[in-house]
Structure 1
Amino acid sequence: MKKLFIGGAVIAALSVAAYVAIPNPPSPSTAETALPPEGAPLVNIVVPDQLSSQAQLGKTAYDAVCATCHGSNATGKIGFGPPLIHPIYEPNHHSDMAFLMAVQNGVQAHHWPFGNMPPQAGVTNSDVNTIVAYVRELQRANGIN
């Protein structure tokens, strides 16, 4: 019985020594674990040097109506709305008409966890057409065709 007790004590002592001898992995720094702040862009994009005249008008309309939720240059905003410069919104999946319908009727959340998009009052079909021209030029500049 005494040998069993000594053997158990030796195993316990070795276990403690091994635990103390093994270095703890460094904990991640705050910068590594911090999430981007609310409102930060969701994607990084290339903005073309030149926009067509229709896309320039679209940028003006986009900045006035859409950028609040979808971010500057359609990069999305953490906590607000998705990026439109994303393969989900490529023309074969979300046609130009889908943008018009979204503005007129709103959109029930289905691709992203941002909640529903409400209809956008006061935005004309012409406004939407120029906004879509702007978004499509940004998409093409970023390899989304």
Structure 2
Amino acid sequence: MRAKIAIAAVLGLGLLGYAMWPKPTASGTGSMKGGVLAEVQLPETLTQNAQIGKRGYDAKCAVCHGPNGAGQDGVAPPLVHIIYEPSHHGDEAFQRAAAMGVRAHHWRFGNMPAVEGLTRADVAMITAYVRELQRANGIN
């Protein structure tokens, strides 16, 4: 019974993610490969850990996930998105994604490869940065 509930929950969240996927506008925004997928409000200030995490994010994550976790059309999803809220994708999910990669399950971008050259401490700082971006955008 628990397995059926878990499968139903995963399917429901997948459908929610698909329904919330940004659609191209009449002006074509988001229709070009590499175009930003989410409008991200930046926090007024970042904690020291998030500042360190921003440097790591910019060096290792932004190439795919775009500036400030906004995603890139045809490349990688936005991390400032309700799918990545802490209650659904906890901090350990970010650790595992960086260390082992992730099979595609919420988005149509394909699999994410492991990220070379990041320690658990690096990923913790990057996660702190992403979480502060999320909070600034109403994702808790």
TM exceeding 0.5: yes
Structure 1: gaps spanning 5 or more residues: 1-30
Q: 1:7-63: CA deviations, max 9, x gaps? A: xxxxxxxxxxxxxxxxxxxxxxxx836463211110101101210010000000000
% identical equivalent positions: 54
Q: Any unmatched runs of 5+ in structure 2?
A: 1-24
1:64 aligned to which of 37, 59, 73: 59
Rg (Cα) greater in structure: 1
- Whole-angstrom CA distance in 2 between matches of 1:91 and 1:32: 33
Question: Deviation digits for residues 39-88 of structure 1, max 9, x if unmatched?
Answer: 11101011012100100000000000000110000000001100000000
1:142 aligns with 2:132: no
What corresponds to 1:77 in structure 2? 72
Name the aligned partner's letter for residue 38 of structure 1: K
Distance (whole Å) between structure 1 residues aligned to residue 71 and residue 116 of structure 2: 21
2:6 equivalent in structure 1? none
TM-score under structure 1 length normalisation:
0.76
Superposed structure 1 runs of 4+ greater than 4 Å apart: none
Deviation at 1:119, TM superposition (A): 0.6
After alignment, is 65-74 or 36-45 more displaced? 36-45
Q: What are the residue-to-residue correspondences of 1:123-134 with 2, within 5 Å? A: 123-134=118-129
Q: Does residue 26 of structure 2 align to residue 32 of structure 1?
A: yes
**RMSD (CA atoms):** 1.3
Q: Secondary structure at the match of 1:32?
A: coil
Q: Provide the rounded CA distance (Å) in 2 between the counterparts of 1:54 and 1:110.
A: 29
Q: How does 1:100-139 map to 2 (within 5 A)?
A: 100-139=95-134
Residue of structure 1 in register with 2:81 after alignment: 86
Distance verdict in 2 for CA 1:51–1:109, change over 3 Å: same
Q: Scaled by the length of structure 2, what TM-score is found?
A: 0.79
Q: Distance in 2 between the 1:55 and 1:69 partners?
A: 19
Q: Distance in 2 between matches of 1:83 and 1:93?
A: 15
